[in-house]
Structures are given as C-alpha cells and as structure tokens.
Homo-oligomer: A and B are copies of this chain.
Amino acid sequence: MSSTMGDRVRISIFGQSHGEMIGAVIDGLPAGERIDPDALQAMMARRAPGQALTTPRSEKDAVRIVSGLVGGVTCGAPLCLMIENTDVRSADYERLRRLPRPGHADLPAHVKWNGFNDVRGGGHFSARLTAPLCAAGGILMQLYARRGIRIGAHLYEAAGVRDTPMDPMRVSEKDLDALLEAPLPVFDREAGEKMLSAVAEARREGDSRGGIVECAVLGLKCGLGEPMFGGLENLISRAVFAVPAVKGIEFGEGFGAARLRGSENNDPYRMGKDGPEPVSNHAGGILGGLSTGAPLVFRAAFKPTPSIALKQDTVDLAEMKDASLEITGRHDPCVALRAVPCVEAAAAAALADLVL
C-alpha cells in the first residue's frame, strides 16, 4: 500500500538502490497516446547523476518500456518501465547494516522490517527511486502537454541563495522552456552560480546544503479537483513527500499567508474576456482544493543531504553501543539540485487521476 498511488491511474514503483532493476507500472493510461522515447530520456537526463556537483555514479538510466505499447503508442494495457541499475558497488555499503546513518531511514526501516530491509544505498528509500518516478512523470507530462497542461520547476533557493521567484500571475510556458535550456534550472544565472559555489564550499567541508524547489502547473482549467481529501493540495502534497528529503510544502503565499491580512491575501475577481478571472494569485491557483484557472504554484523544501563526509555519532546495532560513522560513498552535496524534475514528476503523478 506504500509505493502505489492513484485510483484511476495507478502508479506502482518498485526497486531498491542497488537491486537489479528499478521501475514502475502505470495502469490506467488512455490508449492511443504516442510516447516519445527521446523526450522521456531528456527528462531522465535532467535528474541523472554526473552533472555539476552531483553524484559521480554513472548511470545512463535508459528507460525500457516492456509492456503497454504497440508501435510506440499506448494500447490500454499497463506500461511497465524498467531501468537497470548498472553501476552498483555494494561493498561501499555493507558495514552500514550495523551503523544506521543519521538523517536516513536506515534505523526506522531496520525496525519496521526486522532487519530484513535492503541496506545497500538506502534500499527502497533511496533517492535512486526517483528515477522511475521521473520516468512515470515524464510519460504523464507528454500526455498532459497534448491537453494544454505544462509542469515546470526551478531551484527557488539553494544553500540560502534565492533565485528570482516565479510570478504567480505571469509565469508562462516560455519561462518553463527557458529553464529546460539552462545548465542549472534557475531564472537568475548569477544566483545559480552563487548556489553552486556555496554548495561546492559545503562539499569541500565534508558537509551538505538544503534548498527549495518551486513548481508551476500551467493550463489547468478552473474547477479541477475534489473537495476535502481529494483537493489539489492534498494530492500534490501526498505525492511530493514521496521525494526523499522533502520536509515542507506550501501553495501560493503558503506560510507567508499566515502573516497577511485577508484584504491582502484574497484575490479579487474581475470580468476578463474569457470570463471571471482573479486579479492576483496569492492562492497559488487553488481555492477549496479546486483549481482557479490561475497558475498552480507551490514550493517544496529539501533538507540538506544527510550523507555527509564529516564524522557523525551513531550506534552499532550489532553490539548495541555508541559508535561513530564517516560516510565515504558518492553523494550529492545538495539533493535539491537534482530534485527539480522529481518535483515535476510528483506533481504529474498527483494530477493523473484528475487530468486523464
């Protein structure tokens, strides 16, 4: 009941960081949809390791679609997406069975699964599992694009350096296109460079940094969503917290709204040429869980990568005594950098029941 979500469109993610295969099954896609493998692979490349300041682990993350397509077109049957884990070095991780890493799921997973959990690289809890999430999201985003819906995100903040925020009233497909072409998904290149150098500095110190990803969904018609537990905020938050290291989410003004007055935070209406429209978008495109027709905008906060080179206190589960740990594996010093397409994919997964 854990790694599956959705009622009409069901996405079921499988695999472990150092297992043989990771992947996803997507059940319930409409038939007749062409899947562009190059566009899918471009999505995968955006989260792939091996970029500036990301894990040097070399993974091509080629997505193989082994069911559900006939001649590259969906046939109504579930799609199974497979990604091979090609660069697995289990030796790095063996001793971690005894020494749970602070900030990781190692210890609770050990307790939950009575020590049978796959400890290699965090197993099923690894950020590696965002690869099949991105694959599933990448496919969904191809279908959404045909329905006029675009999802795009940027690094809103990393290591305390802030990018130019999205303008919730005016963020456009052109803005999202620009992000895809940039080497780092930011609007303000200078801010991007400052982010990278701050993160690089933390890495040199054996440490890591956190960040915030901001994401927009464009093209949602007014009135999409269900009340109460089925609202857009409910569905998107449930999906986005599936991305490891996310510790907070906010829509529109979010936490900032708690400090505003109603007269400041409300979005008045005016009659536009296509009907009523809000004149501002403090709501982030959502009222009562339903889309307002304005851009849906949210931010997800990422904690700093818990795998750091600095020595940390932990316990030895074999001898049940205090111990210390230095993590030497390959790790991103700021998970938020590669998380941008993951947040998009999670948003895509959340919307599938409503949009398709």
Chain A contact residues, CB within 8 Å of chain B: 1-5, 7-10, 12-16, 19-23, 25, 27-28, 31-32, 66-68, 70, 73-80, 82, 100, 102-105, 107-118, 120, 122-125, 129, 157, 160, 202, 206-212, 221-231, 233-235, 237-239, 241-242, 244, 246-255, 257-271, 275-276, 278-279, 282-284, 287-293, 301-308, 310, 312-315, 317, 320-322, 336, 353
- CB neighbours of A271 from chain B (8 A): 315, 320-322
Question: What is the minimal beta-carbon distance from A310 to any residue of chain B, in angstroms?
Answer: 5
Q: Is the CB of B254 within 8 A of A208?
A: no
Partner of A304 from the list B2, B211, B262, B317 (CB cut-off 8 Å) is B262
Q: Is the CB of B3 within 8 A of A230?
A: yes
A227-B3, A241-B233, A247-B251 known; A260-B304 Cβ under 8 A: yes
Number of copies of this protein chain within its complex: 4
Bound-complex Cα distance A312 to B280 (A): 13
Question: What is the minimal beta-carbon distance from A132 to any residue of chain B, in angstroms?
Answer: 10
- CB neighbours of A244 from chain B (8 A): 288
Bound-complex Cα distance A315 to B279 (A): 11
- CB neighbours of A293 from chain B (8 A): 108
A21-B67, A263-B308, A313-B270 known; A1-B27 Cβ under 8 A: yes
Q: Is the CB of A267 within 8 A of B102?
A: yes
A116-B31, A250-B255, A257-B247 known; A1-B230 Cβ under 8 A: yes
Bound-complex Cα distance A111 to B291 (A): 10
A250-B247, A257-B301 known; A109-B3 Cβ under 8 A: no
Partner of A258 from the list B3, B125, B303 (CB cut-off 8 Å) is B303
Q: Is the CB of A28 within 8 A of B15?
A: no
Q: Lowest 5 A-B CB distances belong to which pairs?
A: A105-B288, A248-B250, A2-B226, A112-B223, A77-B124
Q: Is the CB of A78 within 8 A of B254?
A: no
Q: In this complex, what residue of B is CB-closest to A21?
A: B66
Apart from the given pairs A4-B4, A14-B77, 5 other A-B contacts in the complex at a CB distance below 8 Å: A1-B230, A2-B227, A107-B222, A234-B242, A247-B283
